[in-house]
Amino acid sequence: MIRRDPVKRLNVGLLLVAFVLSLFAGRLVQLQGIESKGYAEAAVRQRLNRVDLPAVRGPISFAGGQPLAMTVDARVIYADPVMVEAGQRQRIASTLASMFGLDQAGLLKKLTPSSKTNRYVELVHHVEPDRARMVTEMDFKGIGSLQEYRRVYPGGDLAANVGGFVNSDGDGGAGLESSMNTMLKGKSGWQKVELSETGQRIPMGEDEMSKPTPGKGLRLTLDRDIQWKAQDAIAKQVKATGAQSGSVIVMDPRNAQILAMATAPTFDPATYYKARPADLGDRVVQEGFEPGSTSKVITAAAAMEAGGVTPQTPFTVPGSLTRYDRTFHDSESHGTEHLTFGGVLAKSSNIGTILASERVTATQLYQYMRAFGYGEKTGVGLPGESPGILKPVDQWSGTDRYAIAFGQSVSVNALQTASVYATIANGGVRVTPNLIVGTTDDKGTLTPAARPSSRRVIKQSTASELTRMLEGVTTKDGTAPEAQIPGYRVAGKTGTAQKVNPGCGCYTGGGYTSTFVGFAPAENPQLVVEVVLQKPQKGYYGGQVAAPVFKDVMSFALQSRRIPPTGSRSPKIRIYADHR
């Protein structure tokens, strides 16, 4: 038997061991030397997470600085599905669903990893910091929280239709939150953070950041107290009259600043998703309707400036009037009346208005309506505004000019009508209605808004004569004695317009739009108030259902603004041409 040399065997073994060790050494050199940078970068990428940093949304405040909408600190609850333990998924989903009213199945799906799973999955937004702390203290592996912001509305539904709301995506869904969304929202940033295997941030790890730019705020012209009064008054009247809806506008005619813009029904922007879609917009600018008799002041202005009519011009007003194939009537039957033009306006006579309108051409009537703002948006800047309907003269039918003269066959929104009366109250100069005083930065510094545009519509003398005539509306011989305010001279106009029934395209069964709009003190106008009720069921004349709300809101606003009582008496308005 031949024995192998043990030394030789030992040498062979050593060579084999050396060879294996050289392979390991070579691989180690490759990993730690040649390819180390690539593997290190891959490891960092695996640990690195990009997190969005939302900008602080700018606040919206009332004229006095009180908050209408503001942004507060909040948290987003997130998960790393890879880190969440399989045995804890059901428990986590159940706990979060119970705490935040979420769908448990949907949460469980987010917590279950797949081949396409993101290591950062957002579970709940806008969580109050204390509640977020409760979640993180439960020590669920793979669950954490990050800072974000939440929109709150301290006044609840106060001015909700003006301010609007912010949707679940962080964008404005209505009102100024929508139309001014880009400015309010600012610009989001981002941050890349390195997380450990347990999901904790590595303090000395990679950290890149692009800081967010906070949004600018809005300071509004709205007076919080007057807004509250207007909103309360219209809500009560809508309920009392069984109306479909209602609105109130309060303006300063000198600068066209809107002090209140209220609608009913309204909504709470914090729970906007529970409201009817019809209640989320702003009816003041979005809802078009035939203005009825409130539009007669434009016809009056045209007749006085282009037709030679004066407040004393006599008109013989029959009980009915036929033009072409249509017969027109007043709201109440009467025999032949002998009225001054001031009496025509005070009694809101459709027939008398038609007779006065025949002193001007159809083109002239159209031009005055355009000059007062009909057929175009007001410029207030709220979303979804209706420009109304005012057809060009070449599209008018044979009888359109007569109906248009007293407020039919033309459509407006409520703010357009308020602007007409603000123009008269401002001596014939129309100022673009405006809601925004200026913008504020993150330190609260106010930058005033540009001065609103203005244009002269009628002569100051015409505006003064119209004002005296409108004072006659609130006398015992006019259509709105209920609009009188003790101690103040009030000028205004009622409107009781039939609504078109969409079923037949006629005025039968469509209900009414009931309006009163006026200003005070008449000798030095400082406030305009308009009240509109759609389809009231318990009474429908503007002087009956809208004028009392005007009186209530105007009285409050006069006291709130510390406007002293009138120092003079209203001039006598001659109603009848036969000196009765």
Cite the active site residues: 293
Burial class (CB in 10 A: 0-12, 13-18, 19+), 108: middle
Any idea what DSSP says for residue 33?
I
Place of tokens 């709205």: 222
The gap between the terminal CA atoms of the chain, to the nearest Å, is 157
Retrieve residue 372's tokens: 């007062």
Among candidates 250, 257, 258, which has minimal Cα distance to 232?
250
Q: How far apart are CA 196 and CA 124, in angstroms?
A: 23
Enter the tokens of residue 299: 């016809």
Cα gap 243→401, rounded to integer Å: 30
Query: Across-strand partners of 124?
Result: 77
Torsion angle (degrees, nearest 10) of CA 3, 9, 10, 15: 170
| Residue bearing tokens 């029904």 | 265
| All residues at 6 or more sequence positions from 464 whose CB lies less than 8 Å from its CB, including other chains | 427
Q: How far apart are CA 291 and CA 300, in angstroms?
A: 15
Strand segments, DSSP code E, in 330-448 are 337-340, 429-431, 436-440, 446-448
* Contact by Cβ (8 Å): 480, 492: yes
CA distance 210 to 446: 27
Q: Are 364 and 306 in contact (CB under 8 A)?
A: yes
Distances (CA, A) of 269 to 175, 219, 279, 526: 11, 19, 11, 32
Report how far residue 143's alpha carbon sits from residue 401's, in angstroms, rounded to the nearest whole number: 71
- DSSP class per residue in 438-468: EEE-TT--EEEPPPPPEEE-S-HHHHHHHHH
